[in-house]
Amino acid sequence: PSVLDSFALLSGQLNTLNKVLKHEKTPLLRNQVIIPLVLSPDRDEEIMRQTEGRVPVFSHEVVPDHLRTKPDPEVEEQEKQLITDAARISPDVAQKQIQSLNKMCSNLLEKISKEERESESGGLRQNKQTFNPADTNALVAAVAFGKGLSNRRPPGSGGSVQSGQPGAGAIIAGASGMQQVPMSGAPAPQQPMLAGVQMAQAGQPGK
């Protein structure tokens, strides 16, 4: 209720103010000149409170800036010159100039974004290593010399051994009787295969 009462009071005061301003006997405010009556270099707490701390003093230095209603004479002359130049240009020429300016801006933005992407990608390529040397060496050793490869076949694989691997013929020969038996993980059927592998490795010197 207190908020509604305050709102009603403010609304009534605003309506009264509008009626006074719209009255035919009220002079136009744009024709009135505001002049400072008191200038002081001292700090004014009332002005600080009214301006929410933006204007601490009301002196001869700040009065021209705060009470100015027109720009500087130099700026006003430049604006007049720009308005005159703009009035001389036809709408078609102005549209062409706008399109050319937009095209130049878009090209410049594309170049800037391209440079940023290239710099980011170049920095990532220089800083981030794309391979692991230890994994590469281990892979080369496994392919070239068979280092780290297991001689046991995993249970349930049942696949044929490639003939290009060292000792593959001996594995097939030693395990030919085993392939017909389902590999259930029993250790007994794997012994002939191991013996065949060991025999093949022993029969090839330097392996």
pLDDT tens digit sequence for 23-75: 888 888 777 777 777 888 888 888 888 888 888 888 888 888 877 778 888 99
Note the pLDDT of residue 125: 66
Confidence of residue 121 (pLDDT cuts 50, 70, 90): confident
CB 193 within 8 A of CB 178: yes
Contacts of 24 by beta carbon, 8 Å cutoff, 6+ apart: none
* Averaged confidence pLDDT in the chain: 76
Percent of the chain at pLDDT exceeding 70: 69
State how far the Cα of 28 lies from the Cα of 156, in Å rounded to an integer: 100
The amino acid that residue 187 corresponds to is P
Confidence of residue 128 (pLDDT cuts 50, 70, 90): low
- Give the predicted TM-score (pTM) of the model: 0.26
Place of tokens 């136009």: 28
Q: Give the HSE-up count for residue 136: Cα atoms under 13 Å, Cβ half-sphere.
A: 5
Domain ranges of the chain: 72-120
State how far the Cα of 148 lies from the Cα of 170, in Å rounded to an integer: 20
Q: CA dist 14 to 19, 30, 199, Å?
A: 9, 20, 109
Question: How confident is the model over 112-141, as a mean pLDDT?
Answer: 80
Note the pLDDT of residue 195: 43
CB 57 within 8 A of CB 44: yes
* CA end-to-end distance (rounded Å), the chain: 100
Long-range contacts from 173-179, C-beta under 8 angstroms, 24+ separation = 174/199, 174/200
CB 197 within 8 A of CB 191: no
Q: CA dist 110 to 51, 96, 99, 118, 173, Å?
A: 45, 21, 16, 12, 68
Confidence of residue 100 (pLDDT cuts 50, 70, 90): very high
CA-nearest of 32, 36, 106, 94 to 64 is 36
Residue 94 structure tokens: 């102005």
- Give tens-digit pLDDT for 175-205: 444 444 444 444 444 444 444 444 444 455 5
- Give tens-digit pLDDT for 144-176: 888 877 776 666 555 444 444 444 444 444 444
Contacts of 118 by beta carbon, 8 Å cutoff, 6+ apart: none
